[in-house]
Chains A and B, each alone.
Chain A
Amino acid sequence: MNVIEVKNLTKTYKDFKAVDDVSFTVEEGIIFGMLGPNGAGKTTTIECAAGLKKPDSGQVRILDMDALRVGKKLYDFVGVQLQETSYQDKIKVKELCDFFASMYENSSDYEPLLARFNLTAKKNNYMTQLSGGEKQKVAIILALIANPKVVFLDELTTGLDPQARREMWAYIKELKAEGRTVFMTTHYMEEAEFLCDQICLIDVGKIVITDTVEGVIEHAKLETEVRFKAGKEAADYLRGNLSEVRAVEYTEGFVKVFSEKEDIITDIILLLNGKHIAYKQIDIHRPGLEDAFLKLTGKAWRD
């Protein structure tokens, strides 16, 4: 079942097309990541999808509701974390949670949420006294307070240190384990690779591709590069006997094999062992999303 359906979404600011005919669907219970460099149109897309911004054209359906017209009812089912939101200077963590809890008819108790996010000790602190990671945890708590089926996370981990980011990743996985559908944006490749069941690459307002991480890499027809130390006879032997390779190179004592076949290493080892050719220091460079982005857009990834 599709929880989110976005069709032909277009949004222009003055003469700048932020989002250009974007369509995608998100299945129930997955983590869907929109990945793209800064300014690619991620925030505009997520805000339109969350019913917070009116697109110039296009449709958004969430849980079979017309997100652009259903009004406030949407937020009984959809929890939102917005990029760069801060809170009142003089509000305490528990006051903020209590206030948000009071907004919903069926809100969950926020004390267990505070405990789960390891914030119980900080509940009497002012929001301004929290670290960046702690503020983002509060942002997730507020998004979860109505116990929503769908959670929107806009660049949740941007600006966090690596440790805090890892912690957030665990929490996002938990949301999925609870059966919620997560729609997140990020400009961190490794975050998308680690978390997302499906990703959608976006660049200058247009979707480049929507698929699983493996699917995107496969689609980009990227080569795996295997490099190891061996004599020139190894290169010559492999060149003559390996199938499905683009090239076998030999330079300065190293053999390099380039192939689209992901498990080409098995073939190489079998051949070399069979012929009793010595080799050492094997390195395998498997293509990642960064290489895929470069291949698909012709542009180097810029953070």
Chain B
Amino acid sequence: MKLLLKTISVEWKMNIRNFLNIFFSLIFPVMMLLLFGSMYGNEPSEYYQGYGSVDVSTAGYLCMIIAVSGLMTLPITLSQYREKKILKRYMATPIKPFDILLSQLVVNAGVTAVGSGLLIIIGIIVFDLKFYGNLLYVIPAVILIMLAIFSIGLLIAGIAPNSKAALAITYVIYFPMLFLSGATLPLDFMPDVVVTISKALPLTYGGELLNGLWVGGTPGTYLTERFVLLGVFVVFAGLSIKTFKWE
């Protein structure tokens, strides 16, 4: 346990010293919030059933932060560690392989939490962001989304032959998910074909669930979303544990 905590603290330092991680997890989502917030404001609107534009977009941005940590930082870091034989070097130490993966998950969850906090604080200060939901529903939902998205990232990390391939795979998955899942642009304005595509993306279900709970919905309304996310987690976590290559 002591060693696990030490590993987490080392990996935390590595993560926050990486400018790209900081930019995509902390700065970029805030930029999106400020950009779209300044365009549409946060006045109550009929479009959004009486909520403000920022109120109903924040859940999407939170999903975006989860996706950056889980689909980009996590697989890229781990595949680099494998390529540089860092994972192999750890095999010749008392450290448990599982703890290395766990520390990455914890660190990325931590960065997600910091990014989310920052986004919400700026949302409140700049746009008078309001929260209509129940934290007891929202926090477990965020954890569920993280588990699903992080397990996809873990699978990419485990099977990508090298860090370049991991980078390519994460870009191909992350960017379409970002724009097609409703995380950044509302699906209501999208053509039917995009809506159909979005149904195949796990992040869409995360966005639906989190957004619904944010404006006061209850988990009972989002059975499908929760079921899909849980399924993604079980399948991808299982696959990644089975296929993870240490070298």
Q: Give A contacts to B, CB under 8 Å.
A: 50-52, 72, 75-76, 78, 80, 82, 84-91, 95, 99-100, 102-104, 142
Query: Is the Cβ of B91 less than 8 Å from the Cβ of A99?
Result: no
Query: Is the Cβ of B85 less than 8 Å from the Cβ of A84?
Result: yes
In the complex, per-residue mask of B165-201: 1 if CB is within 8 Å of any chain A CB, else 0: 0000000000000000000000000000000000000
Q: B18 an interface residue at 8 Å Cβ cutoff?
A: yes
Q: Which of B14, B18, B94 contacts A72 (CB 8 A)?
A: B94
Complex interface: chain B residues within 8 A of A80 (CB):
89, 92
Query: Is the Cβ of A86 less than 8 Å from the Cβ of B85?
Result: yes
Residue of A whose beta carbon sits closest to that of B87: A85
- Count, A-B residue pairs, CB within 8 A: 59
Q: Give B contacts to A, CB under 8 Å.
A: 2-3, 6-7, 10, 13-14, 17-18, 81, 84-86, 88-89, 91-96
Query: Is the Cβ of A102 less than 8 Å from the Cβ of B6?
Result: yes
Query: Is the Cβ of B86 less than 8 Å from the Cβ of A85?
Result: yes
Complex interface: chain B residues within 8 A of A50 (CB):
92
Complex interface: chain B residues within 8 A of A72 (CB):
93-94, 96
Query: Is the Cβ of B86 less than 8 Å from the Cβ of A75?
Result: no
Known: A72-B94, A72-B96, A90-B13. 11 other contacts (CB 8 A): A50-B92, A52-B91, A72-B93, A75-B92, A76-B94, A82-B92, A86-B84, A86-B85, A88-B86, A89-B18, A91-B10
Query: Is the Cβ of B17 less than 8 Å from the Cβ of A85?
Result: no
Query: Is the Cβ of B88 less than 8 Å from the Cβ of A82?
Result: yes
Residue of A whose beta carbon sits closest to that of B89: A85
The 6 closest A-B pairs by CB, nearest first: A90-B17, A80-B92, A86-B84, A85-B85, A102-B6, A85-B89
Query: Is the Cβ of B3 less than 8 Å from the Cβ of A102?
Result: yes
Interchain CA distance A52-B84 in the complex, whole Å = 16
Instruction: State how many angstroms separate the Cβ of A173 from the closest Cβ of chain B.
Output: 23
Interchain CA distance A195-B137 in the complex, whole Å = 66
Given A100-B93, A103-B95: A87 touches B86 (CB 8 Å cut-off): yes
Residue of B10, B13, B93 most packed against chain A (CB within 10 A): B93
Instruction: State how many angstroms separate the Cβ of A147 from the closest Cβ of chain B.
Output: 14
Interchain CA distance A102-B3 in the complex, whole Å = 7
Instruction: State how many angstroms separate the Cβ of B16 from the closest Cβ of chain A.
Output: 9
Instruction: State how many angstroms separate the Cβ of A81 from the closest Cβ of chain B.
Output: 9
Given A90-B13, A90-B17, A91-B14: A75 touches B85 (CB 8 Å cut-off): no
Instruction: State how many angstroms separate the Cβ of B134 from the closest Cβ of chain A.
Output: 39
Instruction: State how many angstroms separate the Cβ of B84 from the closest Cβ of chain A.
Output: 4
Residue of A whose beta carbon sits closest to that of B9: A99
Interchain CA distance A50-B89 in the complex, whole Å = 11
Interchain CA distance A199-B6 in the complex, whole Å = 40
Complex interface: chain A residues within 8 A of B88 (CB):
52, 82, 85
Query: Is the Cβ of A103 less than 8 Å from the Cβ of B93?
Result: yes
Given A76-B94, A80-B92, A82-B92: A87 touches B17 (CB 8 Å cut-off): no
Complex interface: chain B residues within 8 A of A88 (CB):
14, 81, 86
Interchain CA distance A84-B88 in the complex, whole Å = 11
Q: Which of A85, A90, A103, A104 contacts B84 (CB 8 A)?
A: A85
Instruction: State how many angstroms separate the Cβ of A139 from the closest Cβ of chain B.
Output: 9
Residue of A whose beta carbon sits closest to that of B5: A102
Complex interface: chain A residues within 8 A of B92 (CB):
50-52, 75, 78, 80, 82
